[in-house]
């Protein structure tokens, strides 16, 4: 008898119509979402956050303020960048103000800010982040925080300034840098001018689509001043103009409300984002002097 093989039924593969395309679309959307995340796409967000200018080729020499000439200082950043700053040694002053400036220009447009520091009785060290002025490299959130640490270490190392005699002064973006710096280096006080409560909050205000991203997908350090000020911190002076349309005064209101240590808020009704030296110089200098006087 002829042998016979068992009959095997063919296997039929079935799929739900459209499921493959749905999964593909979801995967593509997830990739786009992650690819546009602020923490992962530095090339996209760098020109949105930083507006550096190089040092003018026709610069006529270091500024002289209060008969004090700014001394060129070059120091090394964490990743080998060559960073540049000016140091104004104010004879007889106890405190040195370490100025971290905003997200545009370079130190050549910070002479009026340095003048406020000198008028307040401090020596002043103002520096450029990587990619600004004569400082080499390209800026990033992590990089400018590293640069602040390097500037501080230059002050305490090469210039032999005691950490307890250093005042952190932050302007705009530099306010968040100064607040961060207070978590990793010691100081006597913090002064925050025209600063934002957190990078995530100000980014969402200017670019609403960024509200789709959680804090974990924003750059690190987080530049979240509110979270820092909710912990013990050095004596704090906040300065903000009511007419600020770049960073609303509400940001400083939040920081002041959440700060847990000694604090004072100088609110300037006629001042915008970057004109304190023209609209309220006397009030600012007086407030800084009082702030410093309370440290004795």
The domain spanning residue 193 has which CATH number?
Answer: 3.40.50.1820
Distance CA 280, CA 98 (A): 21
Encoding tokens for residue 200? 């995530």
In a domain, residue 13? The reply is no
In a domain, residue 189? The reply is yes
The stretches of 42-93 forming alpha helices (DSSP H) are: 42-49
Residue 5, exposed/middle/buried by CB under 10 A (0-12, 13-18, 19+)? Answer: exposed
The side-by-side arrangement of strands in the sheet containing 166-171 is 71-76, 82-88, 123-127, 96-100, 166-171, 189-193, 236-241, 263-268
How many domains does the chain fold into? 1
- What residue numbers bound the domain in which 282 lies? 22-54+64-293
Encoding tokens for residue 294? 């309370």
Per-residue pLDDT of the chain (296 residues; tens, 9 = 90+): 444 545 545 554 555 556 666 667 778 778 878 888 888 888 888 999 999 999 999 998 899 999 999 999 999 999 999 999 999 999 989 999 999 999 999 999 999 999 999 999 999 999 999 999 999 999 999 999 999 999 999 999 999 999 999 999 999 999 999 999 999 999 999 999 999 999 999 999 999 999 999 999 989 999 999 999 999 999 999 999 999 999 999 999 999 999 999 999 999 999 999 999 999 999 999 999 999 999 97
The predicted structure's pLDDT at residue 44: 87
155, 161 in Cβ contact below 8 A?
A: yes
Residue 21, exposed/middle/buried by CB under 10 A (0-12, 13-18, 19+)? Answer: exposed
Any residues with CB less than 8 A from the CB of 120 and at least 6 apart, and which? 97, 285, 288, 289, 292
In a domain, residue 230? The reply is yes
| Closest to 234 measured CA to CA, from 288, 185, 285 | 185
Distance CA 172, CA 9 (A): 73
- Three-state secondary structure call for residue 143: helix
The predicted structure's pLDDT at residue 107: 97
In a domain, residue 271? The reply is yes
The predicted structure's pLDDT at residue 2: 46
In a domain, residue 187? The reply is yes
The predicted structure's pLDDT at residue 287: 98
What is the Cβ-side half-sphere exposure of residue 216, based on CA atoms within 13 angstroms?
1
In a domain, residue 76? The reply is yes
The predicted structure's pLDDT at residue 1: 42
Distance CA 172, CA 170 (A): 7
Q: Give φ, ψ of 191 to 5 degrees.
A: -125, 120
Encoding tokens for residue 44? 């996209």
Helix (H) or strand (E) holding 177: helix 173-181
**Which positions are catalytic?**
172, 244, 273
In a domain, residue 14? The reply is no
In a domain, residue 38? The reply is yes
The predicted structure's pLDDT at residue 106: 97
The predicted structure's pLDDT at residue 268: 98
């Amino acid at each position: 008898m002829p042998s016979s093989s068992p009959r095997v039924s063919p296997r039929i593969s079935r799929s739900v119509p459209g499921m493959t395309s749905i999964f593909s679309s979801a995967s593509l959307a997830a990739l786009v979402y992650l690819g546009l995340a602020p923490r992962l796409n530095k090339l996209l967000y760098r020109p949105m956050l930083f507006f550096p200018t190089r040092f003018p080729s026709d610069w006529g020499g270091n500024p002289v303020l209060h008969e004090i000439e700014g001394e060129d200082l070059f120091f090394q950043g964490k990743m080998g960048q060559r960073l540049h700053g000016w140091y104004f040694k104010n004879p007889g002053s106890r405190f040195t103000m370490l100025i971290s400036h905003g997200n545009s220009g370079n130190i050549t447009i910070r002479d009026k800010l340095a003048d406020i520091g000198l008028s307040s009785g401090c020596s002043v060290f103002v520096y450029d982040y990587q990619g600004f002025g004569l400082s080499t490299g390209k800026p990033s959130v992590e990089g400018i925080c590293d640069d602040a640490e390097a500037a501080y270490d230059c002050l305490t190392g090469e210039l032999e300034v005691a950490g307890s005699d250093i005042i952190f002064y932050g302007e705009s973006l530099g306010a968040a840098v100064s607040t961060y710096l207070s978590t990793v280096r010691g100081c006597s006080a913090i002064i925050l001018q025209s600063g934002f409560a957190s990078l995530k909050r100000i980014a969402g205000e200017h670019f609403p689509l960024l509200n789709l991203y959680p804090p974990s997908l924003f750059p690190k350090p987080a530049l979240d001043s509110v979270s820092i000020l909710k912990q013990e911190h050095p004596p704090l002076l906040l300065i903000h103009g009511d007419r600020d349309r770049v960073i609303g005064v509400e940001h400083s209101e939040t920081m002041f409300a959440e700060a847990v240590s000694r604090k004072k808020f100088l609110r300037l009704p006629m001042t915008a984002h970057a004109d304190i030296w023209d609209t309220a110089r006397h009030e600012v200098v007086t407030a800084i002097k009082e702030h410093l006087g309370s440290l004795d």
